[in-house]
């Protein structure tokens, strides 16, 4: 008969082999965690800066993740439900999701406003939650063009359903557009938490501050980084590993980065940027209809209707030999 002393093997109902019992004796004593606890408590006193004790209640990660998931259900009804969604059931579903999102947004926005020391955050949180939800129909119009761009831009895509269900760019771009609404309304913390939900799942790090036009497609997506002050025109296509980043940071007299200055490049309409290209700087412009080749490192602007690529170790920027038809007819369909 096995003795219940906490040993996993014994709890499964098996006696350990006799030689192990003889060698190790009875079940090992529980580990003493007192020293580890004391060391951690001491570190909370001596190594500050990553504690948040006796402060305001911060937004809850799981609640913010739930907001992101509910947002995707509202943007793409019928795609992410466990069972078939009929048209007659849509009003009830939308009502349920809107109520839940409004309540969650009010709570998490109020926490964020308290963090930023707003004097009376509750009324503003209620107002902001409603204003954010009112933007959802407008967001769907832009997101619809993103799905269309993915279908037209990837010969491997077999259907819009495949794109919405399986392409990481749909989650990454859609939640960035939603988070951008919060960013423009100056809600602290939440915009970054929402885009990080997408970042964790797609490998694409798109700052909520980035301004993005319609028909935006990121093929594959892994490793794409788009900075806060980047602007992206319409009908732009990026491949995996593209970085729209900053050259260096302006610093104040104490050596701290100056916030709120233009640091990231501007990308014009109908631009294609191939895999692992790096484009840096707030004064860098990629003109309309330009193509940037793979692995190119750019610190300077590229004129419109040009192509930039490396030939051996030399960066070549020249006019495009033939202007491609990058904008096509958008057929009628709904998400």
Query: How many CA atoms are closer than 13 Å to the CA of 61, on its beta-carbon side?
Result: 4
Q: Render pLDDT for 197-248 as a digit per residue (tens, 0 to 9).
A: 999 999 999 999 999 999 999 999 999 999 999 999 999 999 999 999 999 8
By the 8 A CB rule, do 202 and 168 touch? yes
pLDDT band of 294, cuts 50, 70, 90: very high
CATH number of this structure's domain 210-335, picked from the four choices 2.160.10.10, 1.10.8.420, 3.40.50.510, 3.40.50.10680: 2.160.10.10
pLDDT band of 23, cuts 50, 70, 90: low
What are the angstrom distances between the C-alpha of 155 and each of 18, 149, 150, 163, 205? 64, 11, 9, 12, 25
What per-residue confidence (pLDDT) applies to 50? Answer: 86
What per-residue confidence (pLDDT) applies to 20? Answer: 53
Q: Render pLDDT for 2-14 as a digit per residue (tens, 0 to 9).
A: 445 554 444 444 4
What per-residue confidence (pLDDT) applies to 251? Answer: 82
Q: Render pLDDT for 153-181 as a digit per residue (tens, 0 to 9).
A: 999 999 999 999 999 999 999 999 999 99
Q: Render pLDDT for 85-141 as a digit per residue (tens, 0 to 9).
A: 999 999 999 999 999 999 999 999 999 999 999 999 999 999 999 999 999 999 999
CATH 1.10.3130.10 fits 57-203, yes or no: yes
* Spans of all domains in the chain: 57-203, 210-335
Which tokens is 120 given? 């009376």
By the 8 A CB rule, do 172 and 100 touch? no
Q: 């860098």: which residue's tokens? A: 284
């Amino acid at each position: 008969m096995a003795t219940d002393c906490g040993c996993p093997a014994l709890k499964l109902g098996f006696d350990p082999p006799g030689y192990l019992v003889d060698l190790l004796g009875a079940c090992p004593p529980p580990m003493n965690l007192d020293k580890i606890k004391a060391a951690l408590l001491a570190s909370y006193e001596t190594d500050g800066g990553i504690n948040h004790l006796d402060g305001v209640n911060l937004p809850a990660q799981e609640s913010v993740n739930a907001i992101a998931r509910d947002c995707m259900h509202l943007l793409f009804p019928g795609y992410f439900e466990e069972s078939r969604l009929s048209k007659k059931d849509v009003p009830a579903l939308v009502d349920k999701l809107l109520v839940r999102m409004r309540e969650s947004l009010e709570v998490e926005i109020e926490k964020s406003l308290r963090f930023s020391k707003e004097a009376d955050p509750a009324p503003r949180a209620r107002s902001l939650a409603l204003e954010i939800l009112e933007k959802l129909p407008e967001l769907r119009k832009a997101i619809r063009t993103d799905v269309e761009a993915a279908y037209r831009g990837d010969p491997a895509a077999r259907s819009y359903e495949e794109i919405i269900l399986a392409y990481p760019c749909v989650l990454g771009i859609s939640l960035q557009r939603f988070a951008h609404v919060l960013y423009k309304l100056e809600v602290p913390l939440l915009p970054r938490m929402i885009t990080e939900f997408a970042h964790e799942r797609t490998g694409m790090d798109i700052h909520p501050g980035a301004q993005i036009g319609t028909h935006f497609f990121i093929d594959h997506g892994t490793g794409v980084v788009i900075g806060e002050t980047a602007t992206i025109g319409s009908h732009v296509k990026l491949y995996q590993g593209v970085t729209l980043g900053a050259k260096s940071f302006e610093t104040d007299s104490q050596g701290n980065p100056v916030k709120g200055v233009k640091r990231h490049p501007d990308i014009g309409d109908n631009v294609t940027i191939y895999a692992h290209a790096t484009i840096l700087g707030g004064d860098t412009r990629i003109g309309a209809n330009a193509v940037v080749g793979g692995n190119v490192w750019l610190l300077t602007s590229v004129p419109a209707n040009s192509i930039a690529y490396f030939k051996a170790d030399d960066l070549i920027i020249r006019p495009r030999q033939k202007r491609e038809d990058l904008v096509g007819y958008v057929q009628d369909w709904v998400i």
